[in-house]
Structure 1
Amino acid sequence: MEANNSNSQQRPIFSSAPKVECHLLIQAVKEGDITQVRQLLEKGADVNVRGEGGWTPLHNAVKKVSKDIVQLLLDKGADPHIKKDNGATPFIVAGIVGNVELLQLFLSKGANINEYDNHGFTAFMEAACYGRVKALRFLFENGADVNLGRQTSEEQRKLGKGGNTALMDAARQGHVEALKILLEEMGADVNARDNMGRNALIHSFLDPKNKNVKAIIRILLCHGADVNVRGEKGKTPLILAVEKEDVELVQIMLEQDGIDFNDMDNDGKTALWFAVEKDQFDIAQLLCEKRVNTNCGELIDIAERNYNGNMVQLLRYYGANENSYLPLAAYEPKSQRWRDPLMHLYRIKRDMIGKLKIFIQEEYKVAETSEGGVYLGFYDGKEAAVKRFREDSKRAQQEMDCILHCQKNSNLVMFYGRESKDNCLYLCFSLCERTLEEHVTTRALENEDFQNIFESLFKAVQELHRHDYLHQDLHPGNILIDSEGKVHLADFDKSEKLNENRHKIKDDLETLGRLVLYVVQLGKDPFFKIQGQSIREVIDACINEEIKDLVQNLLMPGTQYQNLLSKMLSHPFFWNCNIRYRFLRDVGNESDIKRRNYESEILKALNCTDVFAEWTKKIDEHIMKKMNSFYKKKPMYCYKNEVGDLLKFIRNIGEHINEEQNKKMKLKIGEPAQYFQKMFPDLVIYVYKKLRNTVYEKHFPSVNST
């Protein structure tokens, strides 16, 4: 993204005005002396003179919130788009100080709402960083991208810098009110990742001065933050909580559903290891009471070195051994599918290849590849799927390049590490149970299963594209399901770096569209057959209107293809029953619909169909009669067989169904959300398509609502 002032001409650094006057001009601005500012300008002082760090009089006036001086400088020719040495414009500085009037002024002068400095900070991000709530709301209302990640140079991205969102900034700095507004009013993505793969939950731990860390973490968890995300050195939120040596914080994390108490960081250390190493008995006791693995290192030795007899006693009570190795009989594979060969491999003696234990025999082979096969293994003690290549393999290099840039993406199969020996390269990944092909052809899947598959798949491909990679080999055999039923994209040996050929993103999108059809058909037709069908054949084969619209958008993405997956993740296909019902009620609450204003754009759009021409006959006649009775004095307002009236009907039912006088109606209808979904299954997608790309998109739920 580029600010719209990219072509503006910067004034020369050197001025023809006396240097002393230029210096005095900046000083006068800092002191807020408008009289002296005016006098110096009249004497010829350069209005765009630069001080230390590239600070101009205008930047300083904005920093001081001297509105009169700002206006005077602009009237005297100050460049409203001028940048400091770090690339910050006066508009961005206005975001830091949080002054709405100044923000409005610079927008009127052509500032780009999402313009950013050399480090990728926008005015919106700065407002979040400093907790400027009024500015935050103003900028959002004027089009600031709430989920925009920090834009950085290619060199910085290679170092993992950038990608931070405003939500991460608010979380890191401990701004509780700003955080709530970003999540609850603006639909910020609670699990957006920066270029190191960290979400806002990880960021909340990073600043030791953050006094509101507990409040921030509670809010993020309440909004669905991923509790198993990883930060620097692979540390999880639970490990970071232990490192803070805060019992209450650890307790908060332990109460979260789905948290893996035994997750290790990149050095193989668990939360319990850190608790013992830091001599935190109360925290260690909390973890032990959760029945964490007590054989995750030489814990007893560490406790004894700390002269903590109570810790030693605690660890022994909960089964810790004197050394870090489990007895053979105690090992129980996590994988059920590969249980027996894993047990065999675990028990046999093999020379290690670095951290890898592997045996290249058929009984341990997971899958065939074009170069060397995939084998079971143990990498650093973890069950692994190991891809074997020649060390000089071009495909191995392509896979490594992609992995190293995108490995923090939780929707990709997790990369553990690499080893090499005897001209062979071993790439080690987390072990999964089955491919998508096996999953859809051997199980009875529900709509919720389809949603989970597509959400994970869309996010995986979206993250690849964000890191400027194409997958180019999307098919059911390269999509894996782990032991918990989570979906992960794998096999990047055909991946390609996006350079100028960004239009090739469409190739991945088109394949995704065909994969959607394959999954919802439960693999009825082989994927290669669907790949050979025309776009029209694929669309016509879709089982309902929602799937058809989803697939059609993927197959024919148009000019907005780079942001399409983000938009598709908010598609009605991913909405649950209650969200659908809320959407219909919100649209039905539009005043033009309630007043039946046939000249309005919304009714012109909605009523141009006969698909729902008999809707009043589908409703129980007693309910229809009851609802029309409210208009007995104005019969002209009784419900008509029009989409607008159907939406008004749904809205009115929702408003009044729980009133005492409507108990009989409630008994007949049951839960309105389920009732209307059953009666009019295609209504949501019809309304969605009619209102898409109009001002009424304001009623579309955000991604986080799903």
Structure 2
Amino acid sequence: METESHDPREGLAPSTATVEDNRLLIEAVQKGDIKQVQRLLERGADVNFQEVEGGWTPLHNAVQHGREDVVDLLLRYGADPCRRKKNGATPFLVAGIVGNVTLLELFLSKGSHVNECDLNGFTAFMEAAVYGKVDALKFLYENGAEVNMRRKTKGDQKRVGKGGATALMDAAEHGHVEALKVLLAEMGADVNARDNMGRSALIHALLSSRHEHVETITRLLLHHGADVNIRGERGKTPLILAVEKKHLGLVQMLLEQEHIDINDTDSEGNTALLAAVQGRQERIARLLCHRGARVDCGNLVIIARRNYDISLAEFLLSHGAREDFPPPAEDWVPQNSCWGEALKHLHRIYRPMIGKLKIMIDEEYKIADTSEGGIYLGFYDGREAAVKRFLEGSEHALKEVSCLQNSRENCNLVTFYGTESHRDCLYVCLALCERTLEEHLAMHSRVAAEKVEDEFARSALLSVFKAVAELHLVGYAHQDLHPQNILIDSKNAVRLADFDKSIKHAGHPQAIESDLQALGRLVLYVVKMGDIPFEMLKVQNNEEVVQLHPDEEIQDLIHHLFSPGGSLQTQLHAMLGHPFFWSWESRYRTLQDLGNESDIKVRDTTSTILQKLARGPLERSRSFDRWTAVIDPDVMRKMNKFYEKNKNFYQDTVGDLLKFIRNLGAHINEKKYKKMKVIIGDPVQYFQNTFPDLIIYVYTKLQGTEYTRHFPQTQDLPKLQCDGAAAVESKPNGPV
């Protein structure tokens, strides 16, 4: 349709139109009285006048009534072709509803967008599907309409599950068979797309009571690959919905499908058979039983008798149903607190077992998304479990199971229960933990690490280091170390998880190097209490990561991870002896033991230990360079009194500081040094906070010497038991 290039209003007398004229214009358009429309426009009626209630303009009304001539006239008088009603609908969208291809083409030429939508997310393509306008569907498709576009809604609507539907769902729900055929066969509509409530086109068709073509549409959707076991709202499957619809033909059709799960349940644990018995559908119940439905899914016999379906009750008994079906224990209490409510619900409802596994694939029970099938709550052999779902034969599944099976003795990994297979899926069952490391750090406020011993960081990282070290020793590299894959269990023990990217590292030293690089970043992430996002650390180079923490001890640990020496396979195990993993108590005792060395006590400057500990002229400054001036003067005077006779007072050397620490520790608890005790307080904390870089200095200087016998050795570190984490302890101090 061509429109004139000039404005017909030019040259007209000034407007004398009233509000009544605007109302009359709307009425004239609705009646299709084009002459009256033109008279009112010539008199100055507002061509873009909008009704108060819905925001309808004359143009919207003309499109609704399919009056192309009136549309043309209104446009020539300046009607806005993109004006929206209160619900956001444009004339283009209304043209989609009425299926007028001529008007759709006209409005596209006037600036409408083929995928524009109203406030509820409806496009013209969706509207054409709702009303079964096949010609409009084809035209819009040819002009770029998105076939699988999902309805976008406002945030508050989406939060209650509204939106997300596609044109295919609309056609299925409203019973438009021809539209459905075109969408599936010619336009490639996604038959298993789901809306925000998880409903597919098949679910929409079975829920609808607006049409009589449900069998035809169901058969058509199944023919094009609709998932027969998909879940909709409240977890209901197509089979359960067909039973609730009391439609024997639909039930028979669904039972003919190759992969139908006849015993699947909804989110309340109801099976199709239970729904049939509750709905007094004896023919359907008998059909389900003949097709192998389990009869241990509820109080079937009691329900049938309560409904006076005596013949059905007898039939169920003959198929093995029990009259005394035991209800689940109401007082069962889950061990896991984070997932407690969902676990109680899953424990209460009926679910057909997959071997030793009880599970329900539903958002209520989802722990996390994965690249393949998600992680869900479950019960394995009666134990609360986290269940990773994979496609059978998946490469990721093979890696996960292989690594777990070959690392069963590694108690720092999440406990592996076993696997089950069902309907082309592999279920890997693991001990259920409370939260991830990332979540744990987010829950706890940061403490001043330089004043308070960070026991969590030390024990958590010790667990992770041991877990990865043992993986390396049995021939595996993790390859996916990050805070979401480190878990905290119900006893606050730290467990390493997620091995679906793990590889056997034989002949691939870069795989171990990759783990060490990730561990270096994890060290910084944990000691910084998650203040620096791990994803940010991953993109920074090694030198930048090292410099992000001022503490020399932590820098040294990270540096050794980034630049390991010796055998890569055993390198991480050797790092377990690093001072970072020593408790403050063990550090203090180590310093005392070194101070008790005879060469230090007599200050033999020619001895190996004092030469090793001597500060070089080019070394950077330390907190203990002038340590005698740092110690409280009263304490220093009392401690120097021991040497008044020979005037051999303490000097600003590392050796003398170690001797001072040893001697103070030997006497501080004596009654006559009560005042000194008040000043010093706990010597463990005092020396760590006063000289925080002393232990790493001593450790570095004495590496490779006989004096490392005073260090807590790797083999002396307590093993982290599988029932909880343990802090690192040192050996007891020797006699004074």
Q: Structure 1-normalised TM-score?
A: 0.52
- How many Å separate the matches in 1 of 2:33 and 2:258? 59
Q: How does 1:139-538 map to 2 (within 5 A)?
A: 139-325=140-326, 378=347, 380-382=349-351, 411-414=373-376, 439-440=398-399, 483-484=421-422, 485-486=424-425
- How many Å separate the matches in 2 of 1:173 and 1:523? 57
- CA, structure 1 residues 236+402, in 2 after alignment: closer, same or farther (shift >3 Å)? closer
1:271 maps to amino acid: A
Residue 36 (1) aligns with residue 5 (2): no
Q: What secondary structure does 2:103 align onto? A: helix
- How many Å separate the matches in 2 of 1:164 and 1:266? 22
- How many Å separate the matches in 1 of 2:148 and 2:368? 19
Which consecutive unaligned segments of at least 5 residues does structure 1 have? Answer: 1-14, 327-345, 361-368, 388-399, 418-425, 444-475, 497-506, 512-516, 535-706
Deviation, structure 1 residue 379: 5.6
- How many Å separate the matches in 2 of 1:275 and 1:430? 31
- CA, structure 1 residues 56+193, in 2 after alignment: closer, same or farther (shift >3 Å)? same
> Is 1:379–1:416's contact at 8 Å kept on the other side of the alignment?
no
Q: What secondary structure does 1:483 align onto? A: strand
Q: What secondary structure does 1:180 align onto? A: helix
- CA, structure 1 residues 104+303, in 2 after alignment: closer, same or farther (shift >3 Å)? same
> Is 1:172–1:200's contact at 8 Å kept on the other side of the alignment?
yes
2:151 maps to amino acid: R
Deviation, structure 1 residue 413: 3.4
1:483 maps to amino acid: S
- How many Å separate the matches in 1 of 2:323 and 2:220? 41
- How many Å separate the matches in 1 of 2:233 and 2:256? 23
> Is 2:183–2:189's contact at 8 Å kept on the other side of the alignment?
yes
- How many Å separate the matches in 1 of 2:370 and 2:87? 29
> Is 2:368–2:375's contact at 8 Å kept on the other side of the alignment?
no
Deviations 1:149-173 (A, max 9, x none): 0000111111010000001001111
- How many Å separate the matches in 2 of 1:488 and 1:72? 66
- CA, structure 1 residues 72+442, in 2 after alignment: closer, same or farther (shift >3 Å)? same
Deviations 1:119-143 (A, max 9, x none): 1100000011111111101111111
- CA, structure 1 residues 359+122, in 2 after alignment: closer, same or farther (shift >3 Å)? closer
> Is 1:151–1:163's contact at 8 Å kept on the other side of the alignment?
yes
Q: What secondary structure does 1:54 align onto? A: coil
- How many Å separate the matches in 2 of 1:162 and 1:286? 36
- How many Å separate the matches in 1 of 2:112 and 2:511? 49
Deviations 1:394-415 (A, max 9, x none): xxxxxx9997899999943345
- How many Å separate the matches in 1 of 2:126 and 2:241? 25
- CA, structure 1 residues 278+411, in 2 after alignment: closer, same or farther (shift >3 Å)? same
> Is 1:205–1:213's contact at 8 Å kept on the other side of the alignment?
yes
- CA, structure 1 residues 244+529, in 2 after alignment: closer, same or farther (shift >3 Å)? farther
- CA, structure 1 residues 528+57, in 2 after alignment: closer, same or farther (shift >3 Å)? farther
- CA, structure 1 residues 166+320, in 2 after alignment: closer, same or farther (shift >3 Å)? same
Q: What secondary structure does 2:82 align onto? A: coil
Deviation, structure 1 residue 358: 5.2
- How many Å separate the matches in 2 of 1:25 and 1:427? 70
- How many Å separate the matches in 2 of 1:115 and 1:283? 46
> Is 2:172–2:180's contact at 8 Å kept on the other side of the alignment?
yes
Deviation, structure 1 residue 437: 5.1
Deviation, structure 1 residue 488: 8.3
Aligned to 1:113: 114
Q: Structure 2-normalised TM-score?
A: 0.50
- CA, structure 1 residues 104+487, in 2 after alignment: closer, same or farther (shift >3 Å)? farther
- CA, structure 1 residues 381+285, in 2 after alignment: closer, same or farther (shift >3 Å)? closer
Deviations 1:221-269 (A, max 9, x none): 1111111111222111100000111111100111112221111112211
Q: Which has the larger radius of gyration?
A: 2
> Is 2:389–2:426's contact at 8 Å kept on the other side of the alignment?
no
> Is 2:376–2:386's contact at 8 Å kept on the other side of the alignment?
yes
2:47 maps to amino acid: V
- How many Å separate the matches in 1 of 2:363 and 2:262? 31
Deviations 1:164-202 (A, max 9, x none): 000100111111111111111111111111001111110
How many correspondences in the alignment? 424
> Is 1:386–1:427's contact at 8 Å kept on the other side of the alignment?
no
Which consecutive unaligned segments of at least 5 residues does structure 2 have? Answer: 1-14, 403-413, 440-479, 485-498, 519-736
Aligned to 2:21: 21
> Is 1:441–1:522's contact at 8 Å kept on the other side of the alignment?
no
- How many Å separate the matches in 2 of 1:124 and 1:385? 44
Deviation, structure 1 residue 440: 3.5
> Is 2:421–2:427's contact at 8 Å kept on the other side of the alignment?
no
> Is 2:231–2:238's contact at 8 Å kept on the other side of the alignment?
yes
- Superposed CA RMSD: 4.9
Aligned to 1:103: 104
Deviations 1:618-637 (A, max 9, x none): xxxxxxxxxxxxxxxxxxxx
1:136 maps to amino acid: L
- How many Å separate the matches in 2 of 1:529 and 1:408? 25
- Deviation above 4 Å: which 4+ runs of structure 1? 356-360, 381-387, 400-410, 414-417, 426-438, 487-496, 517-534
Residue 85 (1) aligns with residue 54 (2): no
- CA, structure 1 residues 63+272, in 2 after alignment: closer, same or farther (shift >3 Å)? same
Aligned to 2:50: 50
Deviations 1:586-630 (A, max 9, x none): xxxxxxxxxxxxxxxxxxxxxxxxxxxxxxxxxxxxxxxxxxxxx
2:33 maps to amino acid: D
Paired-residue identity, % = 47
- CA, structure 1 residues 168+401, in 2 after alignment: closer, same or farther (shift >3 Å)? closer
- CA, structure 1 residues 57+208, in 2 after alignment: closer, same or farther (shift >3 Å)? same
Aligned to 1:123: 124
> Is 2:387–2:427's contact at 8 Å kept on the other side of the alignment?
no
2:300 maps to amino acid: L
